[in-house]
Amino acid sequence: MSYRVYLVDDAHETLEALRLQYEIHPEIDVYGMADDSDTAWEAMSVRRPDIVSIDIEMGSASGFDLCARVVREMPGVFVVMCSVDADDERRRQAMRAGAHWFLAKPVGYGDIRQLLEAVRKSRSSGDGHAVDGTGGAGGPGRDQEANDGLWDL
């Protein structure tokens, strides 16, 4: 099974690092990247991704808005919020916006591996968009537990 991934982040350097991270996994195809919400929405409307990674702070725009819009209008897309701000409030906001996962920067191999397991689990349960987990990469042990717990919901 392969997954199409779209990355949204206003920092070009971060987009590049994220692309490298995702592409190390052979089942992932990063088919596009954008540094603003509008460009991302247009691209995803043309070709819908399986997974979209959205930065929270993108200049004046908020990644939460894009997240909510994708969740609302593109059911089945697995939405990942990815941010340097990873406190509990940010995670709750991401959950309220409908995000399925939360990645705290910097993102490591293990974080992407966990994310992919979550996506597979979501797909195998036939419920690709109904997961309201917001685990993350704040620290491996804590995140793993948090993610596991949330996925049990």
Partner 1 sequence: MNRLLGSVKRWLASEGDSSSGVAEAEITSGVGGSVHPQPETVGGGTVRVGRSFIVVGNPPGGGALAVCVVPDDSRLTVTIDGRRAVGRVALTSDQEIVVSLVHESPARRFAVEVAEDRFEASVRVTVRPGVRRVLEEAGPVHEAVLRVLEEPWLPEEAPASEVLDLLTTRGLKGRPDLRAVAALCRAQVETSMVVLRGRRPTHGRGERYRPCGLAADWAEQPGEAPWVAQGALVGQLESAVPAVPGIDVTGQEVRVFEDGGRQALLRGVRDAGGSVVAVRSGRILFTRARIDVVPELVLEGDLTSRDGQVIFDGDVAVRGSLQEGALVKASGRVVVSGDVLEATVEAGRAVEIAGAVLRANIHGGLARALYTRAHVLVIEMREDWERFRGEYSQLLEHADARPDLSDKTHLLAGILLSRRYRRLDDCLAATMTWEDSYYLRHDPCINEFTQQIRSKWHRDVRQGILPDDVDQFGVVAARAEEHLRLLLTEPMPPVSAHSISSSQVDATGDIVVHGVGVFSSHLESGRDILVEGVVRGGFVLAERVARIGELGSPVGVESSVRVNSPDGLIRIAVRHGNTLVDLAGRRSRSTSTEHNVKWGERSHVV
Interface contacts to partner 1, rule CB under 8 A: 11-14, 16-17, 20-21, 24, 84-86, 104-109, 138-140, 142
Q: Judged by CB, which is closer to partner 1: 47, or 142?
A: 142
How far apart are CB 22 and partner 1 at their closest, in Å? 10
Q: Judged by CB, which is closer to partner 1: 35, or 132?
A: 35
How far apart are CB 48 and partner 1 at their closest, in Å? 26
How far apart are CB 95 and partner 1 at their closest, in Å? 19
Q: Judged by CB, which is closer to partner 1: 17, or 95?
A: 17
Q: Judged by CB, which is closer to partner 1: 42, or 145?
A: 145
Burial class (CB in 10 A: 0-12, 13-18, 19+), 49: buried
**What single DSSP character describes residue 76?**
T
String of DSSP letters for 3-66:
EEEEEE-S-HHHHHHHHHHHHTSTTEEEEEEESSHHHHHHHHHHS--SEEEEESEETTEEHHHH
Cβ 146 vs Cβ 111: under 8 Å: no
Q: Judged by CB, which is closer to partner 1: 87, or 127?
A: 87
How far apart are CB 139 and partner 1 at their closest, in Å? 3
Taking alpha carbons only, the member of 101, 104, 91, 132 closest to residue 3 is 101
How far apart are CB 5 and partner 1 at their closest, in Å? 15
Burial class (CB in 10 A: 0-12, 13-18, 19+), 89: exposed
